[in-house]
Structure 1
Amino acid sequence: MNNRLIVILLIFFSTLTVFSQGHDSLYHKTANIFKPSVVSTHPSGIFLSRIQGNFNFAPTESTKINLSVESGNVWSPPVVAYIPNQTSDRDFISQFPWHVREFAVDVDTLDAKSLKVASDGVIKGFRPNIRFKLNTTSELKIGMRLFLLSGGKAPFSLVTNDNFIEYFHDNIAGGDDPFDRGLYPKNKASLLFKDRNDNQVNIKRGDVFLNGFEFTHLFYPEFLKNEERHLYFNIATHVGLNTSQYNSSIDFGIGINAMKQYAYKQVGLFNIGFNLGINRLNLFDLKSSNVEFASNDYLANIETIIEYNFFSKGKTRHAFGLDFYIQTSLYKTDEFDYLIPTKNGTSFKSWNMGTENLYKNNNYWTLMYTFQKKGSMTFYLQQDLTVNNNPDIQAGINIIFEL
């Protein structure tokens, strides 16, 4: 993980100095990097506001509406994990590998709190937003997060339904039922989460939930822009208002974005973007019984993207992009040293995933294609190669048009 991140950073910063100036006619046609929302439909993450990169080079000249629809297949079998309260118990448990700790103590009599996680279904997200110019150096973006839990049957979830994903595993990559998914009914849906304070999430198939609104101020400082080198920067200040019955709170974050352009042989253009962000979760709790979706107060993220653009004869812009997003763990990693996951008696290949992965960083790749004429439309496919509670496959469509 660390080596991968270092390579990405080196590639990005090397472009700031070695790429040539290119061709102005192409630069003027591409004033932004096309990127839909790439934050995943993580079963816990959807209840939090999360920061991602803004790769526009300047404030929008016109008011723009952005409509984004996403579909992600989530799966983790039921698992209960125990967190000992006593320091002596924690020290004792930490001597054992995590997968045998339940045999070292009697969890029924142990002085401990517990977590319970079970995820199944296709989470469909709707993320409309509007952005408009405030002045020559800033703009405001206002958006919302709305979700639906679906069973994911085709054709409404063509590549994110259970049957397609397990067919892919069995016949192309992954092997025979690599996560014991076949031991459970397919195309069902439910989300269950119980935190250590006994606050619970219990969502059923067909449930719709409005999880929040987001307000982002984007500042494009002129003194950092370098037109000769085609370098651009902006600073995002983010306020997330979480409105679900499970988390009513206000988050606050800040992100720094850098972009570089490079024209290739007068026919195409490469755009490269880099984002670094940090988000303070639950800065203000609006009720006392919020579910603890994260024990870390802060979530940090890094995002990098490379995009290739070219123009067809009809003056349509085409763009192919590859995005990598990494976010720090929701739960404090040192707590995993004494966490006691317990087997559920049915699945044995992935029984621990739901709780263990709360203590791991999240990362995933997104491949996207955009075409633009008057408005623009982006199609994307996302894959979590490390299987950290993010969707096995997430797909989406993003449409932008001007008012």
Structure 2
Amino acid sequence: MYKYIHLVLLLVCVIVMYPFQITVAQNTASDSPLKNGISKPNTLATHPFGILFYTLPHNFKSRPDNAPLLDIHLSSGNIWGQAVDVFIPSLSPDQARMEALPFYSRGFGFNPSESPSEYYSFQYDGVIKDFRLALAIPLNERNELKVSTRSFLLTTGKFPFSTITGDQFIEFFHSNVAGGEDPFGRRALGMDHAQIQYIDRKGNSFELTEGSFVFSGIETAFYTYSNLFAKHHIILNFGAHAGLNLSSINTSLDLGASVGGTKNFSPKRKGQFLVGMGLNILRKRAVGFNRNQVDLGTSSIFGSFEGHLEYSKQTPKGARHSFGLNYRIQTPYNNKKEEDHYVPSSPDRIARWHEAARHLYKFPSYWSLIYSFTKKKEISLYLQQDMLVNNAPDIQLGANLKIPFSF
């Protein structure tokens, strides 16, 4: 079924893009190029929790765009976390006992039928196709409004729809290049499957299977740009964010704030070197519309940092080739205090059986390599790899197309 959804989405993109080929704004000529600060596509990871609420992006632009800008995004990320049951001891003596044991051995020293505890379970497998449409509208020389939608599709990741992000390629890489034979148990438990299943501590749950398509929400961001340090070629931007989550899994409102900055070290040269840094903070589910809401992790406040290096070179015809390296780190999905005593459990204990639980307590981080070509439009391609090997996602590929237009 998901094969046909791919074709429908491709047709929709073609229909949406075609009229804008004719109405591209005139003020994107060579004297006012589309290139605006750092060329950064949406590189947010396709984490099984993160795709269901408003994970804040970072903004490294230097100003509002010259014209409204349509941003079309598609990414593909492979996720893999074996089914794991997790117990959180309620009594202090039990917690102290668990703290003295390695997390992977605690299941042998704790009996949930004899001691009170909270319980949740989690597992995920498949390739997530993340689809986003965004419209950035300049309000004046200092301010802009951005409205975007997000949705995703859970697939098995079979060839040819997921070549590099599919299980077959990843395990071929592990066996022949790096990682060893079946380091995560994909081959042992079966490849090319698709399922996300989660039960929270209150018994609320959700399950997604192959072909599940979720329209997860609408996001708005208001950015204001400051020229206070312009003489040093530093531009700051401040953002206010609101994300309305609309899926049956999560119906809520997220609120956030951001600050970002870029410095251009070679503003008068055709070859430019820029550095960007950003900080974001998000209140997940600031307003909830469903009392039986799945928790999507016990943390309600999320913070993130992002750093970006970019070198761009102008061609004789006024276009730019840009090469970027991006690093992002985010606070954990679960309360960090539980990491010392949580009890993961699995009857199979195959390879890295505990990862789906363990990495809910870690600071997710990843690197992205980005290439962008900018002229009257901008196309960006990126490859992303996480640094904690949490396989959520294991590897991710993405593409962005930005098109300026006039109404």
The TM-score with structure 2 as length reference comes to: 0.89
1:373 to 361, 372, 375: 375
- 1:254 maps to a residue whose letter is A
Of 47, 55, 66, 1:50 maps to 55
Shift of 1:184: 1.6
For structure 1, which segment, 305-314 or 357-366, has the greater mean C-alpha deviation from structure 2 after superposition? 305-314
Task: Verify: 1:144 aligned to 2:149, yes or no.
Answer: yes
Q: Does 1:302 align with 2:305?
A: yes
Which stretch has the larger CA shift, 362-371 or 263-272? 263-272
- What displacement does 1:294 show? 2.1
- Asked whether 1:214 is paired with 2:219, we answer yes
Percentage of matched positions with identical amino acids:
34
Per-residue Cα deviation, 1:138-197 (whole angstroms, up to 9, x for no partner): 000000110000000111111100000111111111112111221122111000111111
Query: In the alignment, does 2:202 pair up with 1:197?
Result: yes
- Structure 2 residue identity aligned to 1:335: E
Q: Do 1:82 and 1:112's aligned partners in 2 also have CA atoms closer than 8 Å?
A: yes
Deviation readout 1:69-93 (Å, 9 max, x if unpaired): 0000000111101112333432333
Whether 1:351 aligns to 2:353 is yes
For structure 2, the 5+ residue unaligned runs are: 1-29
Question: Which amino acid is the alignment partner of residue 134 of structure 1?
Answer: L
Which segment drifts farther, 384-393 or 184-193?
384-393
Any gaps of 5 or more consecutive residues in structure 1? 1-24
Out of 262, 265, 275, the position equivalent to 2:265 is: 262
TM-superposed deviation, 1:311: 1.8
How far did residue 278 of structure 1 move? Answer: 0.7
Partner secondary structure for residue 128 of structure 1: strand
Q: Which residue of 187, 190, 193 corresponds with 1:185?
A: 190
Q: Which residue of 1 aligns with 2:366?
A: 364
Once the two structures are TM-superposed, the CA of residue 221 in structure 1 deviates from its matched residue by 2.3
Could you tell me how far 1:389 is from its partner in structure 2?
Answer: 4.2
- Superposed CA RMSD: 1.8
Choose from 79, 87, 90 the match for 2:92: 87
Q: Within 2, Cα distance between the matches of 1:322 and 1:62?
A: 27
Q: How does 1:246-395 map to 2 (within 5 A)?
A: 246-263=249-266, 266-345=269-348, 347=350, 349-395=351-397
SS of the residue 1:127 aligns to: strand
Q: Which residue is equivalent to 1:103?
A: 108
The number of equivalent residue pairs is 376
Structure 1 residue aligned with 2:25: none
Q: Is the 8 A contact 1:26 1:263 kept in 2?
A: no
Q: 1:270 to 1:27 in 2, by over 3 A?
A: farther
For residues 90 and 144 of structure 2, what CA distance do their matches in structure 1 show? Answer: 48
Residues in 1 aligned to 2:110 and 2:307: alpha-carbon distance in whole angstroms: 45
Written as runs of structure 1 = structure 2, the 5 A alignment for 1:67-86 is 67-86=72-91
Tell me if the contact between 2:33 and 2:376 (Cα under 8 Å) persists in the aligned partners: no
**SS of the residue 2:184 aligns to:** coil
